[in-house]
Chains A and B, each alone.
Chain A
Amino acid sequence: MRMATPWAVFASSLGLFLVASGATPIAAQETQVGSLHGNPQAGKQDYRRYCVGCHGPDGDGNGENAQWIEPRPRDFTAAVFKCRSTPTGTLPTDEDLYHSVSRGFVTSNMPSWLPLTQQMRVDLVAYVKTFSSRWRTQGPGTPISVPPETPATAQSILHGRELFQKLECWKCHGPAGHGDGPSASTLTDSKDNPIRPYNFAMGSRFKCGTTNQDLYRIFMTGVDGTPMPSFSDNIQPNDAWDLVHFLRTLQPYPSPEATAWHAWLPQHASELKPIGPDQGEQ
């Protein structure tokens, strides 16, 4: 048989270029992250490739793998999102969703999609927003302001510890932040699925980020769809920073807060009252 390489190359290359996919139009919804504009149609292609197995073709969190996944994949049709920079009950910004896709979620099956191009991630955000009419009737909330961080002193940490007791964070997260508080086993999310409180001893990342600013934002906006409320009405910004500094000391990793705390603690350990129900009754 004779080689027909040039013709074969031409024919095959032409064929590859001419084949087109059958895509259906999607109602455009404005999505913008920085200078990038999201295209839901392009996002649909990527959603089918990367996301559909868990979140399902209809975005309702009922993909083929959902039954095996704990916690369950997000239901985009409800338009309730955990990680936001906006007040509780409001829609997140496009940047919030973009960062969630890029970062992934610790203690869940949602990985970081950082290897995808930025445009692809923005397109995915645009497509996710097509699953709920809420995006057509409401705009995202106004991001809360995060004031400059206060110094991470021993006094700040100690005050944060008092707030951890006072606000009853320990009831879910446990006295040592291990996610084993007395209420932990009873918690459910907004779909009545069991949910575990965050265990500060398990990792260096939080559900919605890694920085102190992220941690501040988490309890000032709340984690919608879970029992974790917003504390923006309960505590002042400086108090919130104190709580951030204390929570950092619960993590088994080096940090400025842990350094300050462990320098202060040996001489004052006897002055501390244990966190927990007994302390609360005093």
Chain B
Amino acid sequence: MINWSVKRRDGCSLAWRTALIIGGSLCAAPVSSADAAVPPVDGTRSTATPPTAGHPDSYEAYIAARGGVLPTASRFTYANGAHKSAGIPAFARKYGLACSACHTAWPELNAFGQRFKDRGYQLGNDRDSPIWVNPSYIPFAVRTTPQWRLERTTHQLVDAVPGDPASGTVERTITQSGFDISGADLLMLGTLYKDITFGFVPTVEDGEGVGIEAAFVRFDNLGKTPWVNLKFGKFELDNMLSEKRSVMLSSNGTFYQSYHFVPVGDGTDFGLGDNQIGAEWLGHSENSYTRASVAVLAGSDGVPGLPSGKSYDGTFTLSQAFDAGRLGVERVGVYGYVGRRPTVFETSGGEPIPGTGTNNKTFYRIGAVGDFFLGKLEFLPLFLHGSDDKDLAGGTRNATWNGALLETHYYISPQFILTQRNEIIRMSRQALVSTPKNLGNIDAFTFGYRWYPIMFSRAGLAMLGELSFTKTIGTVPLSGDGVGLDPLTPDTPVRSTSVLVALDFDF
């Protein structure tokens, strides 16, 4: 929930907070190569801007050497630790259930919570319609995270003499730490009428304004069958492994690298973890053990305003759960996403005109995911294979890569959880033959705990600690603060460390 700040290398920086269903870049926009040359607003990151002009060993020289292709949009970076989606205490207040009824550890859903969500945030006990609700009830909750954090990133390019940009550039380790706050998610989800639900999640970030993380209406149980449920608006994809519901909140640990990775030099603006705009069909069995969804989405990575072309993206998910007795409910699933992005825009005065993109090129993500319980131990594996068209990846052949992660939770009690996650990204084919095969590869590891001293049906408070590492070859990490520039040589491993101690409250 809350607070993560997404920083794109195109210079757009905007804090996210997330929310329950939510996710989505608030700042993505079609970026021309001209845009890419503009320094970032906050001065922190811009890959397209030559990091070390004139340096013979610079990344710019490296890029030039591999064909002169500069990234257009380029990769983005999460920073400023934090958050995701939330449990919705408003639902707990409405139904009188403790957080743990729907969440393994909020905000992650358990099997009961998944069914509740699938039914349109209804329990189906004839107390769903607003007519049954106390008139003073308001479907509103807020989540934010006061915190202390440390971010440390190696091989950051800095001026050799502070304050003198003409002094040349050297690599140093940048360490930043201190008390901080996340933004706030304002979570509004409620039932308009039986089987008709709305969601509206504005996010508020100090100095960044307000964004719309999610806004949708859903119609459930159409024809009195759980197999016909429709949703329209901006919402989180039906990811079985929900990034918005991650229990990890540090800068490095708060997101799945696999969901946002694109190869170095790739201009594809897309993240599986981002909230998207479109329409979704969801079907599920009575107990939600069998689930499937198909969505048609705008090709804008969740950015409103028709910024891209006229093409549509498509996605599907399919999962099946199994009754494993005392071990718990085990689930396996597959997913896929196919999108297209324009490579040419009509321009006016040299500036691209939003919505006029053409000459679309294809990218896709496919994979498998699991959720396995061994009593109090939960394993969450995920595999992803990605491919971007050569014209999106800035090369002569399609770029392909694989990602895998294993997240583990140990529930000491409903109010105390230990967590760890390992994740790797490996490029299998670069868009340019001359590009080192391992450029952009990622190793990530996170370990932490969450303790919920308060877990009532009215509110929740989690105290958490987290330590997270990433190693990225030859480029900036997807997360962490630092300077945000690539190292001087493409084989340099850039290491990023996040430490987070925070109070995560949800009311």
Q: Spell out A's residues near B (CB within 8 Å).
A: 1-5, 8-9, 12-13, 15-17, 19, 21, 36, 39, 42, 48-50, 52-54, 64-65, 68-69, 104-120, 123, 202-203, 205
- Contacts known (A109-B125, A117-B323); A19 close to B418, Cβ less than 8 A: yes
| CB < 8 Å neighbour of A12 from B101, B323, B408 | B408
| Residues of chain A contacted by B287 (CB below 8 angstroms) | 114-115
Identify the closest chain A residue to B326 (Cβ). Answer: A119
A54–B112 CB distance below 8 A = no
Q: Which residues of A contact B101 (CB under 8 A)?
A: 49-50, 53
Assuming A117-B324, A119-B325, is B100 touching A49 (CB within 8 A)?
A: yes
CB distance from A14 to the nearest CB of B (A): 11
B456 at interface by CB-CB < 8 Å: yes
Q: Among residues 90 to 106 in chain B, which have CB atoms less than 8 Å away from a CB atom of chain A?
A: 95-98, 100-101
Beyond A111-B112, A111-B124, A117-B328, 9 extra complex contacts between A and B, CB < 8 Å: A1-B469, A1-B497, A19-B418, A49-B98, A49-B414, A64-B456, A108-B127, A109-B96, A123-B326
Measured between C-beta atoms, what is the minimum distance from A206 to chain B in Å?
A: 11
Known: A49-B100, A118-B325. Is A109-B95 also a contact (CB below 8 A)?
A: yes
Name the CB-closest residue of A to B102. Answer: A50
A61 CB to nearest chain B CB (Å): 12
A52 touches B98 (CB 8 A): yes
Q: Are A3 and B326 touching (Cβ within 8 A)? A: no
Write the B438-479 contact mask toward A (1 if CB under 8 angstroms, else 0). 000001010100000000110000000000010100000000
Given contacts A16-B410, A202-B126, contact A114 B323 (CB under 8 A): no
| Cross-chain contact A13 with B469 (CB below 8 angstroms) | no
Q: Given the complex of chains A and B, what is the CA–CA distance between A2 and B443 in angstroms?
A: 11
- Asked if B96 and A69 sit within 8 Å, CB to CB, the answer is yes
A9 engages B422 (CB within 8 Å): yes
Residues in B neighbouring A19, C-beta threshold 8 A: 410, 412, 418
B329, A117: Cβ atoms closer than 8 Å: yes
The answer to whether A5 touches B418 (Cβ under 8 A) is: no
Query: Are B125 and A112 in touch, CB under 8 angstroms?
Result: yes
Q: Find chain A residues with CB under 8 A from B112 CB.
A: 50, 111, 113, 115-116
A16 to B154, CA, bound (A): 30
User: A256: shortest Cβ distance to chain B, in Å?
Assistant: 18
Q: Tell me the nearest residue of chain B to A23, going by C-beta.
A: B413
Q: Does B123 lie at the interface of the complex (its beta carbon under 8 Å from any beta carbon of A)?
A: yes
Question: Which single residue of chain A is at the shortest CB-CB distance from B327?
Answer: A117
Contact with A along B295-326 (1 / 0, CB 8 A): 00000000000000000000000000001111
Contact of B125 (CB < 8 Å), options: A39, A53, A65, A105: A105
In the complex, what distance in Å separates the CA atom of A2 from the CA atom of B496? Answer: 10
> A161 to B100, alpha carbons, bound, how many Å?
46
Indicate if B114 sits at the interface (CB-CB under 8 A). Answer: yes
User: Which of B97, B125, B377 meets A16, CB within 8 Å?
Assistant: B377
Q: Which of B126, B152, B289, B418 contacts A15 (CB 8 A)?
A: B418
| Chain B residues within 8 Å of A106, by CB | 125-126
**Nearest CB of chain B from residue A214's CB, rounded to whole Å:** 16
How many Å lie between the Cα of A178 and that of B364 in the bound state? 56
**A8, A42, A115: which contacts B329 (Cβ < 8 A)?**
A115
Which DSSP category, helix, strand, loop or mixed, fits chain A's interface? loop
Interchain CA distance A50-B323 in the complex, whole Å: 18
Q: Given A49-B100, A65-B96, is A3 in contact with B125 using a C-beta cutoff of 8 Å?
A: no
- The answer on a CB contact under 8 Å between A114 and B286 is yes
Which B45-60 residues have a C-beta within 8 angstroms of A? none
Q: B471 contacts A3, CB within 8 Å?
A: yes
Number of interface residues of B (CB under 8 A): 48
Residue of B whose beta carbon sits closest to that of A102? B287
Measured CB to CB, the nearest residue on chain A to B173 is: A1
A158 CB → nearest B CB, Å: 30
Collect the chain B residues with CB atoms within 8 Å of residue A8's CB: 420, 445, 447, 469
- State which residues 183-197 of B face A: CB under 8 Å: none
**Nearest CB to that of B448 among chain A residues?**
A12
The reply to whether A64 and B457 contact each other, CB–CB distance below 8 Å, is yes
CA distance A205 to B124 in the complex (A): 11
Q: How far is the CA of A105 from the CA of B154 in the complex (A)?
A: 58
Instruction: Judge if B502 is at the interface, Cβ distance under 8 Å.
Output: no
Is B115 among interface residues, defined by CB-CB distance under 8 A? yes
Q: How far is the CA of A36 from the CA of B326 in the complex (A)?
A: 11
B495 within 8 A of A: yes
A–B pairs, 27, beta carbons within 8 Å: A1-B495, A3-B495, A5-B443, A8-B469, A9-B445, A12-B418, A16-B420, A49-B98, A50-B112, A54-B96, A64-B98, A65-B457, A104-B123, A105-B125, A107-B127, A110-B125, A111-B112, A111-B125, A112-B125, A114-B115, A114-B287, A117-B326, A117-B329, A119-B326, A120-B326, A123-B326, A203-B126
In the assembled complex, the CB of B230 is this many whole angstroms from the nearest CB of chain A, namely 22
Closest to B378 in A: A16
A53 and B415 CA atoms in complex are apart in Å by 14
B431 interface residue, CB < 8 Å from A?
no
Docked CA distance A64–B152 (Å): 44
A35 to B: closest C-beta gap in Å: 11
Contacts of A5 in B (CB 8 A): 422, 443, 445, 469
Residue of B nearest to A51 (CB): B101
A64 to chain B, nearest CB (A): 6
Given the contacts A3-B469, A12-B447, A21-B413, A109 and B456 also touching, CB distance less than 8 Å: no
Taking a contact as CB atoms under 8 Å apart, the answer to whether B414 and A115 are in contact is no
**Cα A252 to Cα B98 with chains together (Å):** 34
Contact flag A50-B125 (CB < 8 Å), given A9-B420, A119-B325, A119-B326: no
B369-397, CB < 8 A from A: 376-377
B127 touches A109 (CB 8 A): yes
Picked from A65, A111, A120, the residue with its CB within 8 Å of the CB of B123 is A111
For A54, the chain B residues whose CB sits under 8 A away are 96-97
Given contacts A1-B497, A3-B443, contact A17 B377 (CB under 8 A): yes
Docked pose: A111 CA to B94 CA in angstroms: 13
- B115 to A: closest C-beta gap in Å: 5
Q: B288: which A residues are within 8 A, CB to CB?
A: 115
Nearest to A202 among chain B residues (CB) is: B126
Whether the Cβ atoms of A12 and B420 lie closer than 8 Å is: yes
Complexed CA–CA distance, A39 and B326 (Å): 10
